[in-house]
Protein backbone atom coordinates (compact mmCIF):
# COMPACT_ATOMS: atom_id res chain seq x y z
CA UNK A 1 0.00 0.00 0.00
CA UNK A 2 1.64 3.19 -1.24
CA UNK A 3 0.57 6.72 -0.38
CA UNK A 4 1.41 9.00 -3.32
CA UNK A 5 1.63 12.66 -2.31
CA UNK A 6 0.66 14.48 -5.50
CA UNK A 7 2.88 17.54 -5.92
CA UNK A 8 2.19 17.57 -9.66
CA UNK A 9 2.58 13.85 -10.29
CA UNK A 10 2.60 12.40 -13.76
CA UNK A 11 -0.06 9.73 -14.24
CA UNK A 12 2.65 7.23 -15.17
CA UNK A 13 4.00 7.24 -11.61
CA UNK A 14 0.82 5.75 -10.13
CA UNK A 15 0.47 3.44 -13.14
CA UNK A 16 4.06 2.20 -12.76
CA UNK A 17 3.53 1.47 -9.07
CA UNK A 18 0.23 -0.33 -9.76
CA UNK A 19 1.90 -2.45 -12.49
CA UNK A 20 4.35 -3.61 -9.80
CA UNK A 21 1.54 -4.78 -7.53
CA UNK A 22 1.13 -1.69 -5.34
CA UNK A 23 -2.23 -0.48 -4.12
CA UNK A 24 -1.80 3.28 -4.68
CA UNK A 25 -3.77 5.99 -2.91
CA UNK A 26 -3.18 9.50 -4.26
CA UNK A 27 -3.28 12.40 -1.79
CA UNK A 28 -3.45 16.09 -2.79
CA UNK A 29 -0.38 18.21 -1.98
CA UNK A 30 -2.07 19.89 1.00
CA UNK A 31 -2.87 16.64 2.80
CA UNK A 32 -1.64 16.48 6.40
CA UNK A 33 0.89 13.87 7.47
CA UNK A 34 -1.58 12.64 10.06
CA UNK A 35 -4.24 11.95 7.42
CA UNK A 36 -1.77 10.01 5.26
CA UNK A 37 -0.41 8.03 8.22
CA UNK A 38 -3.94 7.25 9.48
CA UNK A 39 -4.40 5.10 6.35
CA UNK A 40 -1.37 3.01 7.44
CA UNK A 41 0.58 2.93 4.18
CA UNK A 42 3.52 0.56 3.75
CA UNK A 43 5.40 3.32 1.95
CA UNK A 44 5.09 6.95 0.93
CA UNK A 45 6.04 8.43 -2.43
CA UNK A 46 6.65 12.16 -2.84
CA UNK A 47 6.03 13.00 -6.48
CA UNK A 48 7.54 15.33 -9.01
CA UNK A 49 6.06 18.76 -9.58
CA UNK A 50 6.79 22.32 -10.68
CA UNK A 51 8.30 25.35 -9.03
CA UNK A 52 10.67 26.59 -6.38
CA UNK A 53 10.85 24.02 -3.57
CA UNK A 54 11.50 26.72 -0.96
CA UNK A 55 8.01 28.13 -1.61
CA UNK A 56 6.45 24.91 -0.31
CA UNK A 57 6.83 25.61 3.44
CA UNK A 58 3.61 23.93 4.63
CA UNK A 59 4.35 20.82 2.56
CA UNK A 60 7.92 20.67 3.89
CA UNK A 61 6.53 20.70 7.44
CA UNK A 62 4.22 17.75 6.61
CA UNK A 63 7.16 15.86 5.07
CA UNK A 64 9.11 16.35 8.34
CA UNK A 65 6.20 14.67 10.14
CA UNK A 66 6.12 11.85 7.58
CA UNK A 67 9.77 10.94 7.97
CA UNK A 68 9.46 11.00 11.76
CA UNK A 69 6.93 8.15 11.36
CA UNK A 70 9.51 5.57 10.15
CA UNK A 71 7.26 4.67 7.16
CA UNK A 72 9.63 4.23 4.18
CA UNK A 73 9.73 7.23 1.84
CA UNK A 74 10.77 7.45 -1.80
CA UNK A 75 10.79 10.79 -3.59
CA UNK A 76 11.43 12.02 -7.12
CA UNK A 77 12.21 15.45 -8.59
CA UNK A 78 10.38 18.11 -6.53
CA UNK A 79 9.79 15.48 -3.84
CA UNK A 80 13.58 14.89 -3.73
CA UNK A 81 14.15 18.61 -3.20
CA UNK A 82 11.42 18.92 -0.56
CA UNK A 83 12.73 15.91 1.35
CA UNK A 84 16.19 17.49 1.35
CA UNK A 85 14.79 20.78 2.68
CA UNK A 86 12.75 18.92 5.31
CA UNK A 87 15.90 17.25 6.63
CA UNK A 88 17.94 20.46 6.78
CA UNK A 89 19.66 20.58 3.39
CA UNK A 90 19.47 23.52 1.00
CA UNK A 91 18.41 23.99 -2.63
CA UNK A 92 19.48 26.47 -5.28
CA UNK A 93 18.10 27.70 -8.61
CA UNK A 94 20.27 26.36 -11.43
CA UNK A 95 21.53 28.62 -14.20
CA UNK A 96 20.11 26.36 -16.93
CA UNK A 97 18.40 23.42 -15.28
CA UNK A 98 18.15 19.87 -16.58
CA UNK A 99 15.60 19.31 -19.33
CA UNK A 100 14.94 16.37 -21.61
CA UNK A 101 15.42 12.63 -21.90
CA UNK A 102 19.19 12.60 -22.21
CA UNK A 103 20.65 13.43 -18.79
CA UNK A 104 23.40 11.00 -17.70
CA UNK A 105 23.32 10.11 -14.01
CA UNK A 106 25.91 7.98 -12.24
CA UNK A 107 25.09 5.55 -9.44
CA UNK A 108 27.96 6.20 -7.01
CA UNK A 109 27.65 2.75 -5.44
CA UNK A 110 27.83 0.64 -8.61
CA UNK A 111 29.54 3.12 -10.94
CA UNK A 112 26.85 2.50 -13.54
CA UNK A 113 25.64 5.43 -15.65
CA UNK A 114 21.99 5.71 -16.65
CA UNK A 115 20.43 8.01 -19.24
CA UNK A 116 17.56 9.69 -17.44
CA UNK A 117 14.60 11.92 -18.15
CA UNK A 118 14.55 15.22 -16.23
CA UNK A 119 12.70 18.51 -16.11
CA UNK A 120 13.81 20.75 -13.25
CA UNK A 121 15.48 24.07 -12.56
CA UNK A 122 16.53 23.60 -8.93
CA UNK A 123 19.18 21.42 -7.34
CA UNK A 124 19.92 20.07 -3.88
CA UNK A 125 23.27 21.44 -2.70
CA UNK A 126 25.27 18.36 -1.78
CA UNK A 127 27.53 20.30 0.58
CA UNK A 128 24.43 21.12 2.67
CA UNK A 129 23.32 17.51 3.22
CA UNK A 130 22.80 16.74 6.92
CA UNK A 131 24.55 13.99 8.82
CA UNK A 132 23.07 10.63 7.80
CA UNK A 133 22.20 11.79 4.26
CA UNK A 134 24.46 10.36 1.58
CA UNK A 135 24.62 11.43 -2.04
CA UNK A 136 24.03 8.31 -4.15
CA UNK A 137 23.63 9.64 -7.73
CA UNK A 138 25.32 12.53 -9.52
CA UNK A 139 24.74 14.21 -12.86
CA UNK A 140 27.67 13.27 -15.10
CA UNK A 141 27.51 16.57 -17.02
CA UNK A 142 27.73 18.99 -14.11
CA UNK A 143 28.26 16.96 -10.91
CA UNK A 144 24.99 18.05 -9.28
CA UNK A 145 23.22 15.86 -6.75
CA UNK A 146 20.82 13.40 -8.42
CA UNK A 147 20.03 11.09 -5.52
CA UNK A 148 20.20 10.80 -1.74
CA UNK A 149 19.90 7.90 0.68
CA UNK A 150 19.02 8.80 4.25
CA UNK A 151 20.83 6.36 6.54
CA UNK A 152 19.00 7.36 9.74
CA UNK A 153 15.50 6.94 8.31
CA UNK A 154 14.08 4.55 5.70
CA UNK A 155 14.18 7.00 2.80
CA UNK A 156 15.83 7.56 -0.55
CA UNK A 157 15.26 10.11 -3.28
CA UNK A 158 16.20 10.82 -6.89
CA UNK A 159 16.15 14.03 -8.91
CA UNK A 160 15.41 12.29 -12.22
CA UNK A 161 12.18 10.61 -13.34
CA UNK A 162 12.70 6.87 -12.75
CA UNK A 163 9.45 5.79 -14.41
CA UNK A 164 10.46 7.36 -17.75
CA UNK A 165 12.20 5.28 -20.43
CA UNK A 166 14.97 7.63 -21.50
CA UNK A 167 17.59 4.97 -22.17
CA UNK A 168 17.66 1.30 -23.11
CA UNK A 169 17.05 0.32 -19.47
CA UNK A 170 14.49 1.89 -17.17
CA UNK A 171 15.79 3.41 -13.94
Q: Which residues are catalytic, by number?
A: 77, 161, 163
Report the C-alpha gap between 99 and 77 in whole angstroms: 12
Contact 99, 119 (CB under 8 A): yes
CA-CA distances (angstroms) from residue 18 to 45, 66, 90, 155, 170?
A: 13, 22, 32, 20, 16
Contact 76, 162 (CB under 8 A): yes
Contact 78, 47 (CB under 8 A): yes
The Cα diameter of the chain in Å comes to: 42
Residue 84 exposure: Cα atoms within 13 Å on the Cβ side: 30
Amino acid sequence: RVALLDLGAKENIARSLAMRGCDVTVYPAGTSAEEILADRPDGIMLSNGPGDPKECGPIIEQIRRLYESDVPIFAICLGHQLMALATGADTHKMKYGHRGANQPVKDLESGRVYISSQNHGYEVLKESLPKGAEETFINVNDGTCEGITYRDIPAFTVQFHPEACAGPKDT
